[in-house]
Structure 1
Amino acid sequence: MENADSLIWISGATEGIGLGLSRNIPYADARVINLSRRAHPAIESVPLDLAEPESWATVEAHFRSTLAGFRGRRAIFIQNAHLKGLTGFAGEVPVEDYARDITANMTAPIRLGEAFLRAVIDSGFGGEAGLVMMSSASARSPYEGQSVYCAGKAALEMWVRVVRRELAQRGRDHIWVTAVRPGFVDTGLTRHVAAMADRDYPVASMLRGQIERGEGVMDVDTAARHIWAALPTDRSLLLFGEQVQVDRGSAT
């Protein structure tokens, strides 16, 4: 769709929330591009491996080349992809696994978000440009066994807050940036962590029970429709179905 009115990139559009987002896009005339290690069976795909910085450069080049000739109404990038294989307790897992988790789930999302913004700014695109960074309640709740995941999401949300201020400082009103905490969504990642041993992830049994009862759990399509309906946004953080979590290790 070379003459599409909307240009939408979604990382990790082959499963989970990314899949839901890809099949619930509210724009009739949209070119949708999956960024993933796996090709999407129905939409255009560009290879992305969060753990391999070389692939980040490939994605950045694609942002640049595609935006260079784009004359449509909007360009949106949703950074949704996450590398499965959460690390367990710090100091107890193989150092190479911990390092890979940091690269893929802390460094890559911010690097890709910045690459998109840079491509938008350098291209001179004057339509609506939006960046959605998928976050989690883990950004504010310290879950044992998820030190990298929690730290990465907290850093991502602060990055969004700072970048929004920077864009406003430069008068780039056509560019919006937001982070999204989607709530409890039944995805492969959710079930992956729920299946972990309680010794390595103490809240796993709670998650398993919640999934079994269907308690406050959204399917990926419902979650996706809620997210799309809230965009564009003038807020730095969108919250959906978030439950209050208690920090058991702190008195403050």
Structure 2
Amino acid sequence: MQSADREIDSLIWISGATEGIGLGLARNVPHAAARIVNLSRRPHPDYESVFLDLADPASWEDVGAHFAAALAHFRGSRAIFIQNAHMKGITGFVGEVPPDAYARDITANVAAPLRLGEMFLRAVRESGFAGEAGLVMMSSSSARSPTIGQTVYCAGKAALEMWVRVARRELAMRERRNIWVTAVRPGFVDTPLTRQVAAMADSDYPIASQMRKQMEEGVGVMDIDTAARQIWAALPTDRSLLLFGEQVRR
């Protein structure tokens, strides 16, 4: 482990690197000599994989242990964690969807990202890693737009962005200048999750038909590799939020 680490200059974890934006981020990593680790329920044939089930807190602890073990003897230039994974959660009107599914959605898509982000920052601090340490929390325009049928998704992304803002201030107060934290709104990206919600009935998800139309016309829609290259090109950053493919409402 230690001898292998000497040959690795970049240590990069990406949750959900089996498909969608996570896959695009994994196969477009711009750093040479990178160890790329997929955190997912499914292993990836091309990348080292560690099991992560966003709905299972026990698996979060295993990922936290992996962060700590990998960083303990790492002497490369950078360590980056991109929290990208999102469980295909419940879509529908509040109070009308199955309660167990709703609770699971909250666990997986609100609690899990924040806990995983905290575990990574804790592992960086406790390991004494002195290189560049970066945390990317994948967000969405839903953090600012109250999308009908997506109470958990919108609340989760809004909470994630506020978490990033507070974490950045705390890191600045502790003068941990080697650590950067940012949230990313990637814009409209053609992913399996996007296609899943676009296929829903408008009665459950009123903007589904609008999404289908946009995807059919291809206007403002990015493929996963284009989106990934844009994100990597913007990192590292001193901004709390990176926006792609959307206008900021003042």
TM-score by length of 1: 0.96
Cα offset for 1:76?
0.1
CA distance in 1, matches of 2:127, 2:147: 41
Matched, 1:235 2:230: no
Counterparts in 2 of 1:102-121, with a 5 A limit? 102-121=106-125
Cα offset for 1:87?
2.8
Counterparts in 2 of 1:28-67, with a 5 A limit? 28-67=32-71
CA distance in 2, matches of 1:242, 1:32: 29
1:244 to 1:6, Cα distance in 2 relative to 1, 3 A: closer
CA distance in 1, matches of 2:78, 2:89: 34
Structure 2 equivalent of residue 5 of structure 1? 9
Amino acid at match of 1:58: D
Q: Deviations over 1:160-198 (max 9, x none)?
A: 000000000000000000000000000011101101111
Amino acid at match of 1:176: W
Matched, 1:153 2:157: yes
CA distance in 1, matches of 2:112, 2:200: 24
Matched, 1:99 2:96: no
Structure 1 equivalent of residue 142 of structure 2? 138
Amino acid at match of 2:143: A
Cα offset for 1:86?
2.8
Amino acid at match of 2:155: A
- How many residues align? The count is 245
Structure 1 equivalent of residue 29 of structure 2? 25
Structure 2 equivalent of residue 226 of structure 1? 230
CA distance in 2, matches of 1:41, 1:14: 9
Q: Deviations over 1:216-240 (max 9, x none)?
A: 0000000000000000000000000
The structure 1 segments of at least 4 consecutive aligned residues displaced by more than 3 Å after TM superposition are none
Matched, 1:68 2:94: no
Which of 119, 126, 130 in structure 2 is aligned with 1:122? 126
Matched, 1:194 2:198: yes
CA distance in 1, matches of 2:172, 2:32: 30
Q: Where does the alignment leave 5 or more consecutive residues of structure 2 unmatched?
A: none
Tell me if structure 2 keeps the 8 A contact 1:87–1:97.
no
Q: CA RMSD in A?
A: 1.0
Q: Where does the alignment leave 5 or more consecutive residues of structure 1 unmatched?
A: 246-252
1:26 to 1:162, Cα distance in 2 relative to 1, 3 A: same
Matched, 1:174 2:173: no
Structure 2 equivalent of residue 15 of structure 1? 19
Which of 76, 81, 84 in structure 2 is aligned with 1:80? 84
Cα offset for 1:19?
0.2
Amino acid at match of 1:95: P
TM-score by length of 2: 0.96
Tell me if structure 1 keeps the 8 A contact 2:12–2:37.
yes
- SS of the aligned residue for 2:11 comes to strand
CA distance in 2, matches of 1:186, 1:172: 36
- SS of the aligned residue for 2:8 comes to coil
Cα offset for 1:243?
4.5
